[in-house]
Amino acid sequence: MENFSIVLAVCRTAMQNPTDALKRHVDRLVKALEKQGDEDQAVSLAKLLTGIEQSGKIEPSRVILSRQALNGETMPLSIIPPVDRETGASLATVLLPSKLSDVEPPILNESLQAAIDSLADEWAHLDKLKLAGIRPPLNCLIFGAPGTGKTKLAHVVASRLSLPLVTARLDGLISSFLGTTARNIATLFEFANRYKCILLLDEFDAVAKIRDDPHEVGEIKRVVNTLLQCLDERSSTGFTIAITNHEQLLDSAIWRRFDARIFVPKPDVVSRNSIVHKYLEGIEATNVERDFLAWITDGYSGAEIEALCNALKRYQVMREQSDFSVMDALRLNVHLSADHVNSPRRKLFLSDHEDLARVLADDIDFNFRQDELAQLFHKDQSTISRWLKRGKAA
């Protein structure tokens, strides 16, 4: 495309306040560029959609100023995380910023992305807020269904702030030796408080789950109390992110400790479109097939869409190029992942093509045209037109 650099600059400026309509137009432009073989231009533009450009949004100097406002020492490169005294098992893993720099941000629904950006921005302006006498929330709870990108999100925040990420797997801390759990938690927080870092408490509900054990009432109280105390002590000094899939299991006292609580939902239609685009790279698929994948993955998590795209890639490799059809491969995959996602769209896909075509033609998000449906179902347009008319008559 001629003058692409100008078009890209216009899109980048416009995408600073992205609306659904704008994203769809940019997406259409990406597809058009792909169609005419301008792959590099399509990739540059697609990056605006996937938010890849956003990961580097906070300027380095800002990050340094914010880090100076944090308590603690700078973590040495050769740091060894604390261990369980009895077993010698590590209580945490440490990821230094250099290891986090290539983490790709999950593709999130627009309003959620804006909320995360605003929190990360506050964290990056810690010095400024402190100077103004304002205490920003330093801890945040992320919750939502499995595979929605929660852990990835924590990694992205750490990468944006250029801080080491100290990750505790609480199920590991707790499961083996209940008697030492409280001490392990205290040791872990002590370690995190000593350095400028983000403490990540992944699978946080493990703390709540031990409540189910009737023999351990005293120990559980001790563990929860230690945790509350540690969270309180840390709340004014260091960043803490806790993640859970089972927020309903969390003790209300723990829940209240988190000023920011972020729900990560399953991706909406715009995000599904971008996720399909991202993970389908390298697959021979038409635009309408990609749109259909975004349609049928309603109710899927990001991880499930990724798994589906990987399965399609496998089918493509296993078959001769000419023999590969996204729809056929998708049908195999729906059978092979029968228990994964129980969605009406998958059921419809496996049943009647005519019904499916009618639903697709009426879908308010996609409004599949007759020529697109003809391409999708490998039929001619008159057949599709007959199907749609038959539906109207019935």
Ligand X SMILES: Nc1ncnc2c1ncn2[C@@H]1O[C@H](COP(=O)(O)OP(=O)(O)OP(=O)(O)O)[C@@H](O)[C@H]1O
Under the rule (CB under 6 A), what is the footprint of ligand X? 106-108, 146-152, 245, 267, 275, 302-303, 306
| 220 vs 264, beta carbon nearer Mg ion | 264
| 167 vs 271, beta carbon nearer Mg ion | 167
Q: How many residues bind Mg ion (CB under 5 A)?
A: 1
In whole angstroms, the minimum distance from the beta carbon of 34 to ligand X comes to 20
In whole angstroms, the minimum distance from the beta carbon of 243 to Mg ion comes to 6
Binding residues for Mg ion restricted to 236-265, rule: CB under 5 A = none
Q: What are phi and psi of 166, to 5 degrees?
A: -100, 110
Choose the binding region for Mg ion from 75-83, 146-154, 295-303, 339-347 (rule: CB under 5 A): 146-154
| 243 vs 293, beta carbon nearer Mg ion | 243
| 146 vs 344, beta carbon nearer ligand X | 146
238 binds, among Mg ion, ligand X, none (CB under 5 to 8 A by kind): none
Classify residue 98 by burial, with Cβ atoms within 10 Å: 0-12, 13-18, 19+.
Answer: exposed
76 binds, among ligand X, Mg ion, none (CB under 5 to 8 A by kind): none
| 45 vs 200, beta carbon nearer Mg ion | 200
In whole angstroms, the minimum distance from the beta carbon of 382 to ligand X comes to 40
| 112 vs 124, beta carbon nearer Mg ion | 112
In whole angstroms, the minimum distance from the beta carbon of 276 to Mg ion comes to 21
Binding residues for Mg ion restricted to 150-169, rule: CB under 5 A = 151
- Which residue minimizes CB distance to Mg ion? 151
- Asked if residue 370 binds Mg ion (CB under 5 A), the reply is no
Q: Write out the residues near Mg ion by the rule CB under 5 A.
A: 151
